[in-house]
A and B are shown apart, each in its own frame.
Chain A
């Protein structure tokens, strides 16, 4: 099964609203990363949060990490139509060969 599972699978909101996506994982991690993908092509790295961090901000993005619950959330504030994309969490698993394990993604649609 996937190490990271995003929730919800799909999310549709109006421009200007906030979007929250969640990620759960199963094993101890070194860090957790969020990526964005447009049109089924290459992924773009958005933000990384280390296992000893609880919250991180980057522009309109806010990521939280709760290692006791093995979960993370990505908040996009004041969403724009251009934020429409698929968002994936990826975990860098402790003790692994340092390859990221990706979840199945959340498809975000921001309506103008």
Chain B
């Protein structure tokens, strides 16, 4: 597609449930990033995929968070046993090279009740 697509745009879930967030990057972009943004805050790095290399998972806040990228394209961020502090906007971005900036999706607003 023309841009980075994220789904769903909004997700309300009960505490303790698992959620899956999807990101479809721009075709041909080898690098894909997940960030989390709490209300009124900056972006918190979660995970980075580059081509076929092992992902940089250094930003994942706990072992309840995991992500995969299949076939070097679509990525899924999974949060298990969601907690209220997981409520945030989850942003995905892709790029060919960070020297050219990232293209962001519109994000998934996750609310854990």
Contact = CB atoms under 8 A, between A and B. Distances in A.
Interface of A: 2, 30-31, 33, 35, 40-45, 48, 50, 88, 90, 92, 97-105
A99 B56 contact: yes
B89 A102 contact: no
A92 B100 CA distance: 11
Given A31-B99, A48-B100, A97-B56, A42 B91 contact: yes
Per DSSP, chain A at the interface is strand
B62 interface: no
Contact of A100 (B58, B98, B103): B98
Interface string B90-110: 010100001111111111010
Interface of B: 4, 31, 33, 35, 37, 39, 41-43, 45, 48, 50, 56, 58-59, 89, 91, 93, 98-107, 109
Contacts of A30: 98-99
Contacts of B93: 43
Given A31-B99, A42-B107, A98-B31, A88 B89 contact: no
Nearest to B99: A31
A41 B91 CA distance: 8
B99 A42 contact: no
